[in-house]
Amino acid sequence: MTENKKRLPVLENVAISDVAAEGKAIARVNDMVVFVPFTAPGDVVDIQLTRKKSAYAEGKAIRFHTCAARRVEPFCKHFGVCGGCKWQHLPYEDQIEYKRRQVIDNLTHIGKIQAECVLPILGSERTLFYRNKLEYTFSNKRWLTEEDFRSDKPPGNMNGVGFHIPGMFDKVLDIHTCRLQDDINNRLRLAIKAYCFSHEGYPFFDLRNQEGFMRTLIIRTSSTGELMAILVFFREDKDRREALLQYVAGQFPEITSLLYVINEKRNDTIIDQEVCVFRGADHIMEEMEGLRFKIGPKSFYQTNSRQAYNLYKVVREFACLGGDELVYDLYTGTGTIANFLSAKARKVIGIEYVADAVADARINASLNGIANTFFFAGDMKDILNEAFLDEHGRPDVIITDPPRAGMHHGVIRAILGAAPRRIVYVSCNPATQARDLSLLCASYTVKKIQPVDMFPHTHHVENVALLTRK
């Protein structure tokens, strides 16, 4: 161990032993656990500590003495700097095994649930080009890479279009090639950047000082071949805005929905902003098993379309519907699961907090001629009560797909009070799911657990649990 007066110590010749939560690998030095990103079990590295607490530390690998035998070559030049695809140095079969272990660890340690019910994880058929949505940020202060620092030339143009550096709201990594989405994302982003560089009056956004013109670019694709592009500007400049949008429309005739937003707020979300149509439709269409879903610029839809189909098939299998059941779909979003299950149920009731999403759910039901789904907007803990159950009936099956924070205790109490025969719990956060399952186990038994990998090369995992009433 060597000391640096201005920095925390460097730990030398440390063996990486395992993979932990949040996608980081871990090493153990004496009695201290050290979390190190972008490393793999079997690596032997020198670690520059960046944070030190009494029970653990965080650091980064600054030298590799030995590389793990199972390490693979990262496919992206931005690996190690970009906040996404942190596991691309691990073979895919190892990635999904670590995800299954993550599910088991949360179930046993947090939920106190036996792991015998965990089925093999469903891997993604596609591990590249699997996303249907990406969002890029324009910044006038791009992140300087090691390549910039090694160069004898000054960095020059500081504008960049890309992803935020983790933990730094005002720093953006300029992305040249991203393999998460169809290559249209690269061609479109680079063409817009080149146009802005070659024409005056298109300053990239200053995130810290909140000034500039070009703000964000959102690209959505669908399995039907339709393409949506949303350009977000910080302020209105009609001539320049229309010139750029006209250029994009001319260069990319495959865009079926070209939209724009003027967002003068401090944050980038467009959920509360007016979205204007420049060319084409105000939506794209997604298709699944003969059902068509209208996807607007603000709509939530699982970002891995192919794997979403496999996920919903698991939900349908676990729900075990015979055709005469009343199903409640909690946190229904745009009603994808509710409408997907409707043909197998007598009636499906969807509840969702976001009113716009409920409007989309109703449109999608109408679009597909579905007459037995009914959607309600409001806070789950306020809507799901005895009065609601008395009015609409007690469910035979409850599907619940809450946000990462899991379910409010009041919602769990309401589910226990509703006493459905089966509960199918879909989660993007196995830790909060395990916490909720432990409370539901007062009246239910966890029968099956099915992990589903929606996001290859990341640590994220979707998980489906089947519970039956005791």
Same domain, 123 and 140: no
Same domain, 321 and 435: yes
Q: Which residues pair with 10 in a beta bridge?
A: 2, 48
How is 280-334 classified by DSSP, letter by letter?
E-S-EEEEETTEEEEE-TT----S-HHHHHHHHHHHHHHHT--S--EEEEET-TT
* pLDDT, position 420: 98
Helices (H) and strands (E) in the chain, counts: 11, 22
Task: Provide the number of structural domains found in the chain.
Answer: 3
In three-state secondary structure terms, 437 is helix
Which positions ≥6 away from 201 have C-beta within 8 Å? Answer: 213, 237, 240
Same domain, 235 and 373: no
| For the chain, percent of residues with pLDDT exceeding 90 | 88
* pLDDT, position 356: 87
Same domain, 330 and 430: yes
Q: Domain ends where: 264, 288, 312? A: 288
Q: Measured between alpha carbons, how far is residue 282 from residues 232, 255, 336, 355 in Å?
A: 15, 12, 19, 18
* Strand stretches in 165-273, DSSP E: 172-174, 214-221, 227-233, 257-262
Q: Domain ends where: 71, 86, 109? A: 71
Note the pLDDT tens digit of each residue in 294-309.
999 998 899 999 999 9
Round to whole Å and give the CA distance between 400 and 412: 10
Which positions ≥6 away from 163 have C-beta within 8 Å? Answer: 82, 83, 84, 136, 137, 172, 173, 175
The answer, yes or no, to whether residue 3 has pLDDT greater than 60, is no
| Domain presence at residue 452 | yes
Same domain, 104 and 145: no
From the list 117, 276, 320, 428, the catalytic residue is 428
Q: Domain ends where: 219, 254, 288? A: 288
Residue 243 and residue 225 in contact, taking contact as beta carbons nearer than 8 Å:
no
Same domain, 201 and 102: no
Q: Measured between alpha carbons, how far is residue 425 from residues 144, 402, 407, 428, 437 in Å?
A: 43, 8, 10, 10, 9
| Domain presence at residue 81 | no
Note the pLDDT tens digit of each residue in 154-178.
777 899 999 998 888 888 999 999 9
* pLDDT, position 276: 98
Closest CA to 384 of 331, 426, 438: 331
The answer, yes or no, to whether residue 5 has pLDDT greater than 90, is no
Same domain, 323 and 250: no
* pLDDT, position 146: 77
Note the pLDDT tens digit of each residue in 48-81.
999 999 889 999 999 999 999 999 999 999 998 9
How is 121-153 classified by DSSP, letter by letter?
PB--S-SSS-BSEEEEEEESSBPPPHHHHHSSS
Helix axes 430-440, 409-418, angle to 10 degrees: 40
Same domain, 316 and 452: yes
Widest CA span in the chain: 74
Same domain, 339 and 464: yes
Round to whole Å and give the CA distance between 32 and 19: 15
| Domain presence at residue 79 | no
Strands 133-139 and 32-36: unpaired
Round to whole Å and give the CA distance between 7 and 48: 9
* Residue in the block written with tokens 């320049």: 240
117 is catalytic: no
* pLDDT, position 115: 79
* Strand stretches in 347-443, DSSP E: 347-352, 373-377, 397-400, 422-427
Task: Output the domain CATH number for residue 408.
Answer: 3.40.50.150
| Domain presence at residue 77 | no
Residue 243 and residue 200 in contact, taking contact as beta carbons nearer than 8 Å:
no
The answer, yes or no, to whether residue 464 has pLDDT greater than 70, is yes
Same domain, 39 and 182: no
Residue 38 and residue 48 in contact, taking contact as beta carbons nearer than 8 Å:
no
Note the pLDDT tens digit of each residue in 264-290.
999 999 999 999 999 999 999 999 999
Note the pLDDT tens digit of each residue in 373-382.
999 999 999 9
Round to whole Å and give the CA distance between 54 and 191: 50
Confidence of residue 6 (pLDDT cuts 50, 70, 90): low
| Domain presence at residue 293 | no
Residue 420 and residue 443 in contact, taking contact as beta carbons nearer than 8 Å:
no
Q: What integer best gives the mean pLDDT of the chain?
A: 94
| Domain presence at residue 82 | no
The kind and range of the H/E element at 242 are: helix 238-251
Task: Output the domain CATH number for residue 191.
Answer: 2.40.50.1070
Where in the sequence is the domain holding 408, given as residue range(s)?
Answer: 95-127+304-469
The answer, yes or no, to whether residue 204 has pLDDT greater than 50, is yes
Q: pTM score, two decimals?
A: 0.92
Same domain, 284 and 393: no
| Domain presence at residue 78 | no
143-152, 320-329, 349-358: range with lowest mean pLDDT: 143-152
Task: Output the domain CATH number for residue 7.
Answer: 2.40.50.140
Note the pLDDT tens digit of each residue in 215-230.
999 999 999 999 999 9
Note the pLDDT tens digit of each residue in 447-460.
999 999 999 999 99
Which positions ≥6 away from 109 have C-beta within 8 Å? Answer: 434
Give mean pLDDT, residues 183-207: 97
Same domain, 391 and 412: yes
| Domain presence at residue 295 | no
